[in-house]
Each structure stands twice: as C-alpha cells, then as structure tokens.
Structure 1
C-alpha cells in the first residue's frame, strides 16, 4: 500500500497536466466553433470571443503555475500571465481601430507566448515528461505569430478564421499532450501487472 501511495503521489503532476491539457483542448475547440459560427453572425460576440482567448490563456497559466509551486517558481508562466493579460487590454484597444491592428496584437502575443510556452515545456520535462508536443506547439506559435504580423499588412485580413486556425492547432497539441501523458501512465502500470504474474 505504501508503494502504491508513493507512486500515486509521484504521478500527481502528470495527472494534473492531463486534466489541464484536456481542459485547454476542450476550451479551444469550443472557442473555434463559436468564432466560426455565432461569432461571424454577431460582431459583438465575435469581439468578446477575441478578448476571451488571451484572457483564458492568462487564467489557465496562472492556475497551472499555482498548482506547481506558484508564480514565483514558474517565471515563464508568470510572464505569460502578464503578457496575456496585457494582450487582452491591447485587443480591446485595437478592435475599434482595424482588423489589421487586432491581428498585429495577436501576432506579437503568439510570438511571445509561444516562446514562453516553449520555455515552460522544457523546464518541466523532468517533472512530468512527454512535453515534446508542448515544445512543438510553442515553436509553431512563435512562427504563426510572425505570419500574423505579415498578414496584418494586408488591407482587410481575415482575423477570425486566421486566429481560429491558430487556436485549432493549439487544441490538437494539447490533446496530444494529454494522450501521451495518459499512455505514459498506463505503461508502468502494465509493466507492474506483468511482473506480478
């Protein structure tokens, strides 16, 4: 029983991350669906959804950092919370200006947030393992941000569909991360069961 309790305790960070990644994937899927449907029909809702996305990222990073020792011990996520919160404010400022301004804000955010996510994934690899999808996600986010800045130079960039595509890829990476952590949990359990037989 003691060994089982110790194993469950050691797996608690991975267990939290599985739920965290699933929650983030589910939110992104729901957000994309709303942006591409009701958000297109009701501009006010579409604007609110654009504000919600970076705000959710700030809240999610804050919750994750708090679960792993607090913001002081997770500097990359602490910075991400600040950057995502600031982005929410800047999106609010950019919305009345132009779609290009909004996409420019999201582009800058995607670059910074992607690099911070990359740093977080590398740092916590030894804690939970299976962070390669988050590493790829962070790198792709930074590249996508650069593409956003380029597209923002167009007269009327397609903001909703562009950011929805970005969020959709993010959902895939979060889902993959959750699945990988789940399979990594089952592998030791299967090995233990085999040894007992």
Structure 2
C-alpha cells in the first residue's frame, strides 16, 4: 500500500484541480485576455507539477523517463500556450492540441506500465490518455476552421479530471480490498 497511497493522493488532487480549472475557465475565457492566458498557462503546469511529484516516487526505468518527459513537455506547453494566447483562439488550440496528443500518448504508456496487482488495470488513466490524444487531433482540425472556440477546453479538463478522480477511487477500493484480505 506504500506505493498506492501517494499515487492515490496525486490522482485525486490532480483530478480535483482539473475540474476546478475547468469551472474557472468556463467562466473566464472570453475574451482572450490576461485571465484567459493565465488559466491556459496554469493547466499544463498542473500536469508538470503532478509529473514532478510522481517522479519523486518512481525508481529508475522507462516509467520514470516517460514521467520526466511528460513533465518537461507540460512545462514547455505552458510557455507555448501562453505565447500562443497573444495570437488568438486558433494558435491556442494548435498548441493545446499538440500537447494533448503527445501527453495523452505518454499517459497511455505510463498507464500500461502501471498495470499490475497493486495499482490495478489503470483503465481510467488509459482511457483519459487515449481520449486526450484523440481530442488533441480534433483541436488542431477545429483550429483550421471558422468556428474555433476555447469552450472545448473546459470539457477536456473536466473529462480528464473525472477520470483521475475515478482512478483514485479505484485505487482506494483496491487497497481496502487487499487490506481486508490480509486480515
């Protein structure tokens, strides 16, 4: 349970922050101004800080390298989306979309490596990562059209947050079940 407990807290915290961010962004992104750009920078930074926290508990290996990669990528995405904010909706969607594709793929890989008896099957994390990659492609397509909107980012963050909260609930259930079996 030692490995599960920090991950459970990390997933729960990350999920709650994502949902809170989505609510704030839903009400504060029109027009693109200082508040919108700040919120756009904060979201990938949540991912970067989460990766840093996760990294501290991981042993050397491919999972650690993927987590480090995701943290660096999210930090770069925060900078890029902040710069893109000055260009309007389409550049923001392109940057956010590219980040969603690559970080979603990395999340799937980490989820696959964490599948095991202690950490479960990681289905919510795998689904969230896969959807992130797919939605990122959609954002880049949407950015090319005339109806580009940042409204979709609140839905993205809510969905990701809910999947992290579900995963933390499953980890809690698994730990309690395992503890009951040892008693």
Alpha-carbon shift at residue 18 of structure 1 (Å) = 1.0
Residue 69 (structure 1) aligned to one of 59, 62, 87 = 59
With normalisation by structure 2, the TM-score equals: 0.91
Partner Cα separation in structure 2 for residue 53 and residue 38 of structure 1:
14
Question: Which of the numbers 105, 112, 121 marks the counterpart of 2:102?
Answer: 112
Q: 2:43 aligns with which of 35, 43, 53?
A: 53
Shift of residue 191, structure 1, vs aligned partner: 3.1
Unaligned runs of 5+ in 2: none
Secondary structure of the residue that 2:146 maps to in structure 1? coil
Task: State the alpha-carbon separation in 2 of the partners of residues 104 and 142 from structure 1.
Answer: 13
State the distance in 2 between where 1:59 and 1:103 align: 22
| Relative contact order higher in (CA < 8 Å, ≥ 6 apart) | 2
CA contact (8 A) 1:57 1:84 kept: yes
Correspondence list, 1:46-195, <5 A: 46-69=36-59, 74-126=64-116, 128-159=119-150, 161-193=151-183
Name which one, 1 or 2, has greater alpha-carbon Rg.
1
Change (3 A) 1:97 1:41: closer
Unaligned runs of at least 5 residues, structure 1: 1-10
Distance 1:15 1:143 in 2: 30
Q: Distance in 2 between matches of 1:164 and 1:115?
A: 20
Q: Using structure 1 for the length normalisation, give the TM-score.
A: 0.85
